[in-house]
Amino acid sequence: MLSPRIKLRHLQAFLEVARQRSFARAADTLAITQPAMSKTIRELEEAVAASLFERGPRGVTLTPSGMALLRHAGPAINLLQEGLAAVRQPASGEAVVRIGALSTVEEGLLPQAAQALHERFPEIRLKVHSGPSAYLLSQLGLGELDLVLGRMSEARESRGFSFEHLYHEPLVLMARAGHALACLTRAQLSADLLGDYPWVVPPAPTTLREQVERFWVEQGGPPPPITLETLSLTLSRRYVQRTDALWVAPLDAVRSDLAEGSLVRLPVDIEAHGGSVGVCINATRALSPAAERLIEQLRDLAGQRDP
């Protein structure tokens, strides 16, 4: 039974602080004073007998207890809001699946799955949000997303959620067609030579960037100059096509470029094995039939990729 000491306002305040990572911003959003916000959170912590937030120089972060509460409170409040909306408005018959999509699936898996899904269920609307894995997984915990799709099994934030592996996808090193390194063999591409050119890499602290940094450490030399840090595939592609920069990209994102010949893959192993691409869900909340249908399409497509 829910403790009578815990009110809806406590959970709303908790979720807003978790979303904003700031007591002051959360207080502004809920139109209350910061002392009132602090008092509300303190009351909730006393009711659950646990500390929920840690204060730091960059704002507040969730404690392990706070993460546990977030995984349950977010979906619960979201379900309550959906129930109230259903009472106010008649059902339209439209089903919506809210997806957090990492860059590893934006060009290949997700559009293919969306096409296959809509051929069978055209009434399903997909609402796609992009961003780093940490942000998307926090939104999953808040109940703002139904699932997160991409390469994230290494992400610390994925712990506590249910992750289903679909397939492995490697990071590759790309250059424009006609690049001076394009005709060299694996043995000729030394760390010093690779370091002579600027690189386009994912931003820190993403799991993709961590893999790139591990590669630099393994090479034994200083890291190359970084000219662009971004998760935008379009920006990275256009920049590399116009310069001598080298781009670390998920293979799925550049298959069409390789087929067209606008970019070439250099014979460099960024990682020994590809990362695990999959679906992350909050197991404390039941998936809608529409979300289940999307996941089935993802499984079918992944099965076609694996040997």
Domains of the chain: 8-71 (1.10.10.10), 95-167+277-303 (3.40.190.10), 169-273 (3.40.190.10)
pLDDT of residue 270: 92
| Edge-to-edge strands, sheet with 199-201 | 226-229, 199-201, 246-250, 171-176, 263-266
Phi-psi map region of 224: left, alpha, beta (phi>0 left; psi -120 to 50 alpha): beta
How do 124-130 and 95-101 pair as beta strands? parallel
Secondary structure class of 59 (helix, strand, coil): strand
Residue 90 has pLDDT above 90, yes or no: no
Question: Looking at 48-52, 131-135, 181-185, which range is the least confident one?
Answer: 131-135
Average of pLDDT values for 191-211?
Answer: 90
pLDDT score of 306 more than 80: no
Question: For residues 109 and 124, what is the distance between their CA atoms, to the nearest angstrom?
Answer: 18
* pLDDT > 80? residue 85: no
- What average pLDDT does this structure show over 233-241? 96
pLDDT at 124: 95
Identify which has the larger pLDDT, 168 or 158. Answer: 168
8-22, 79-93, 179-193: range with lowest mean pLDDT:
79-93
pLDDT at residue 12, as a whole number: 86
**Residue 88's pLDDT band (cuts 50, 70, 90):** very low
Q: Mean per-residue pLDDT for 254-261?
A: 94
Confidence of residue 110 (pLDDT cuts 50, 70, 90): very high
Contact 79, 143 (CB under 8 A): yes
Strand arrangement of the beta sheet that strand 124-130 belongs to: 124-130, 95-101, 147-151, 275-281, 162-169
Residues with Cβ within 8 Å of 302's Cβ and at least 6 positions away in sequence, in order, are: 109, 166, 167, 277
∠ CA 207-209-211, nearest 5°, is 75
Positive or negative CA dihedral for 97, 98, 100, 104? positive
Over the stretch 11-58, which tens digit does the pLDDT of each residue have?
888 988 988 889 988 888 888 888 999 999 999 999 899 999 998 877
Query: What's the mean pLDDT in 200-229?
Result: 89
Cα 124 to Cα 54: distance, rounded to the nearest angstrom:
40
Q: Check residue 272 and give its pLDDT.
A: 75
Residue 148: beta bridge partners?
100, 280
Strand blocks (E) in 81-198: 95-101, 124-130, 147-151, 162-169, 171-176
Q: Is the pTM of this model over 0.75?
A: no
Strand partners, 167: 277
Instruction: Note whether 152 and 137 are within 8 A (CB).
Output: yes
Of 271, 270, 265, 260, nearest in space to 179 by CA: 265
Question: At which residue do the structure tokens 């997806």 appear?
Answer: 99
166 to 66, 98, 119: CA distances (angstroms): 29, 19, 22
Q: What is the pLDDT of residue 4?
A: 74
